[in-house]
Amino acid sequence: MLCIVEQLGTIDYAAGLALQHERVAARKAGAIPDTLLLLEHPDVYTLGRNAHRENVLASPAFLKSRGAEVFETDRGGDVTYHGPGQLVGYPILDLTEHRRDIAWFMRSLEEVFIRVAADYGFEAGRVPGATGVWVGNEKLVAMGVHVSRWVTSHGFAFNVNTDLRYFDWIVPCGLRGKGVVSIEKLLGQRADMADAAERVIHHFGEVFGLEMSQRSPQLSGAVADV
């Protein structure tokens, strides 16, 4: 099966959300194949359906003074941060063509990044009861999804060169006593974002059994001709 990859660069969260909605509608209609959107967001905090406001430790005014927006979303999970140096991925997959099993989808997403971490020489894994990918007690990849008529949206946030100080102002994913980590921190030097994206694309196709085809992004609302 084919999966279209759109690498979008840096776009604000609202624009990314609108683009997801367009792609989800097109996928439900059968107008496009499975699609993976890869991008970076300017500084933003997002609250999932199960978010607790007390897990945002700073006031909205303080966060705004640091240039960060706050959005409520329809994904699963609690509060998290997105920003420059973090590779965000929105897989828009029709699970009726894979497995109608959300737990399988989440474990498969985690497997993608366990393999990506291994590429960099690090052993990553899962923590029972805490979705995502971890290196020890520190989260490398946060995940939260939404599924409608078995079509997925939202997805993952992979800390490549992320400024981890922004996590100090929240309880990431509502999990107290656990940290966050990036590839940069693990390596002791900045990682190449383009290389990180290629590793993710490769392992995403491998894990989900998809042929990954990169196309020019369509940001105007038009759907790519596939």
| Closest listed residue to residue 127, CA positions, set 118, 138, 115, 119 | 138
Which of 106, 140, 157, 173 is the catalytic position? Answer: 173
Give dist(CA 46, CA 73) in Å, integer.
Answer: 7
| Closest listed residue to residue 75, CA positions, set 11, 24, 26 | 24
- The answer to whether 3 is a known catalytic residue is no
What is the longest distance spanned by two Cα atoms in the chain? 47
Give dist(CA 189, CA 183) in Å, integer.
Answer: 8
The b/e string for 201-213 (b: 16+ C-beta within 10 A; e otherwise) is bebbbebbebebe
Give dist(CA 218, CA 196) in Å, integer.
Answer: 22
- Could you tell me if 133 and 124 are in contact, meaning their C-beta atoms sit under 8 angstroms apart? yes
Polymer length of the chain: 226
170: DSSP letter: B
Beta carbons within 10 angstroms of residue 216's beta carbon: 8
Give dist(CA 60, CA 1) in Å, integer.
Answer: 44
222: DSSP letter: P
Residues annotated as catalytic (active site), given as ranges = 173
